[in-house]
Amino acid sequence: MKVCIAEKPSVAKEIAQILGATARKDGYYEGNGYQVTWTFGHLCTLKEPHEYTSDWKSWRLEVLPMIPSRFGIKLIDDKGIEKQFSIIEKLMKDADAVVNCGDAGQEGELIQRWVMQKAGVHCPVYRLWISSLTDEAIREGFNRLEPQDKFNTLYEAGLSRAIGDWLLGMNATRLYTMKYGRSKQVLSIGRVQTPTLALIVKRQLEIDNFEPQQYWELKTIYRDTTFNVTKGKFQTIEEGNEFLKNVDGFPFTITDIAKKNGKEFAPRLFDLTSLQVECNKKFGYSADETLRIIQSLYEKKVTTYPRVDTTYLSEDIYPKCPAVLQALSGYEVYTQSLLNGQKLPKTKKVFDNSKVTDHHAIIPTNVKAGNLTDMERKVYDLVVRRLCRWKYSCSCCGKASTLHSYLCSGRHYGQLRDL
């Protein structure tokens, strides 16, 4: 029996349907030679200091720094987690092979590896690596499973991050709390939260201590056009008047006119950070809200994997783009010309394998979007329109080139700008 372990029950259900494991059991699906189970995100975590030695139970400066000779993991203290882990442990004990179906990224690798280590897996383990949850992507992923050892460096990167967070958080939090905490107030220190807080405090201090200063500029108007003196700003009016004396009385002569053709390129596709920024600007969504929404869209199969840090697509996505365009119901005004037999533009500004590591940029899938909430629809609309700005074909002359579409003086220009 092959045991597949996903990161969420909803993902396990999708995988089970594709594999034919349709019989629902307590904590897993079964059928067609497969058992598909799941975690709830993190089931395991690094042990607490006192679980390594009793000397680290009390907060004392003399025991710092706390550096375990070997880090260990434990189950998170939760009855639901303990029950699900016992099911996973039993399934894996009798498995002929295990397929790691966790999210294809550093954190997803770490989550599943810890569970398998805790369960004591000794059979062969394979990795499912997919960027979307469409039926097609899942089938393709199972047709090209990789040995888990191929992803050891990814796991080691996640483990190093977790250990680094533990060392800094546990030691620095105790140090600052004991030295500077008032009335036993815990001063939490973290790898991300502390530098972020420092940036906010620094910026606020700059705002609080800002002192506006007056300055003067020297300008002249010629034929309804304002010209500035290239010297720039003057700190005092006397300095400006002194400079004016040097040029006063001389004829104003235009010696050269330069004309440049500007190019406005299509914006990059979305990675998670740029999507969070755009959603905050347009809708006021927080970073957590945007992540929750795009994760939901991913689980509904209408967008690709969200936790990405690249704005490029891998070249193997290029032949799949027509199917994606075809599924974009309601966006025919932007996709119709490209679906009428014209070849899609392929440019290194979009397709570049060297700029893609774990996953490509966030794009819609070939699954038609339906049953979306208002917030989901807004985020999905942003993702689709960003993709269309690359793929848009000129309705005036038919050239399938984004750059041409931006520069074309035809009537569609305003429509494109509205994207």
* pLDDT score, position 391: 55
Q: Does residue 195 lie within any of the structural domains?
A: no
* pLDDT score, position 334: 78
C-alpha Rg value of the chain to the nearest Å = 29
- Identify whether residues 118 and 10 lie together within a single domain: yes
Query: Most distant CA pair in the chain: distance in Å?
Result: 97
Q: Does residue 189 lie within any of the structural domains?
A: no
- Identify whether residues 360 and 407 lie together within a single domain: yes
- Identify whether residues 282 and 411 lie together within a single domain: yes
Pairing of strands 97-101, 2-6: parallel
> Is 29 a known active-site residue?
no
- Identify whether residues 6 and 115 lie together within a single domain: yes
* pLDDT score, position 335: 80
Q: Does residue 186 lie within any of the structural domains?
A: no
Q: Which of 119, 143, 160 is the last residue of a domain?
A: 160
- Identify whether residues 227 and 364 lie together within a single domain: no
Q: Does residue 19 lie within any of the structural domains?
A: yes
Q: Does residue 41 lie within any of the structural domains?
A: yes
> Number of C-alpha atoms within 13 angstroms, CB side, residue 33?
3
Give me the tens of pLDDT residue by residue for the chain, a chain 419 residues long: 999 999 999 999 999 999 999 999 999 999 999 999 999 989 999 999 999 999 999 999 999 999 999 999 999 999 999 999 999 999 999 999 999 999 888 999 999 999 999 999 999 999 999 988 999 999 999 999 999 999 999 999 999 999 999 999 999 999 999 999 887 789 999 999 999 999 999 999 999 999 988 999 988 888 888 888 888 889 899 998 888 888 888 888 888 888 888 777 778 999 999 999 999 999 999 999 999 999 999 999 999 999 899 999 998 898 888 889 888 988 888 787 666 666 777 888 899 989 987 789 999 999 999 899 999 999 999 999 998 876 544 444 444 444 333 333 333 333 433 44
The interaxial angle of helices 272-283 and 374-391, nearest 10 deg, is 120
* pLDDT score, position 401: 40
The number of folded domains in the chain is: 3
- Identify whether residues 348 and 279 lie together within a single domain: yes
- Identify whether residues 253 and 276 lie together within a single domain: no
- Identify whether residues 279 and 244 lie together within a single domain: no
Please give the structure tokens belonging to residue 128. 């499912």
Q: Does residue 173 lie within any of the structural domains?
A: no
Q: 309 lies in which domain range?
A: 272-417
Q: Does residue 22 lie within any of the structural domains?
A: yes
- Identify whether residues 35 and 104 lie together within a single domain: yes
Q: 75 φ, ψ to 5°?
A: -75, 140
- Identify whether residues 38 and 125 lie together within a single domain: yes
Q: Which of 131, 160, 189 is the last residue of a domain?
A: 160
pTM as predicted: 0.76
Cα distance between residue 84 and residue 40, in whole Å: 9
- Identify whether residues 241 and 312 lie together within a single domain: no
Q: Nearest to residue 177, comparing CAs of 191, 166, 189, 187? A: 187
- Identify whether residues 6 and 147 lie together within a single domain: yes
* pLDDT score, position 341: 62
Percentages helix, strand, coil for the chain, rounded to the nearest 5? Answer: 45, 15, 40
Ramachandran bin of 110, using left for φ above 0, alpha for ψ from -120 to 50, beta for the remaining angles: alpha
The CATH number that applies at residue 406 is 1.10.290.10
Active-site residue, from 34, 155, 305, 312? 305
Q: Does residue 348 lie within any of the structural domains?
A: yes
* pLDDT score, position 416: 38
* pLDDT score, position 342: 67
> At CA 175, angle to CA 169 and CA 181, rounded to 5?
105
* pLDDT score, position 246: 84
* pLDDT score, position 338: 65
The CATH number that applies at residue 88 is 3.40.50.140
Cα distance between residue 401 and residue 346, in whole Å: 9
Cα distance between residue 400 and residue 126, in whole Å: 42
The DSSP-derived string for 279-340 is HHHHH---HHHHHHHHHHHHHTTSB---------B-GGGGGGHHHHHHT-TT-HHHHTGGGT
Q: Which of 143, 160, 177 is the last residue of a domain?
A: 160
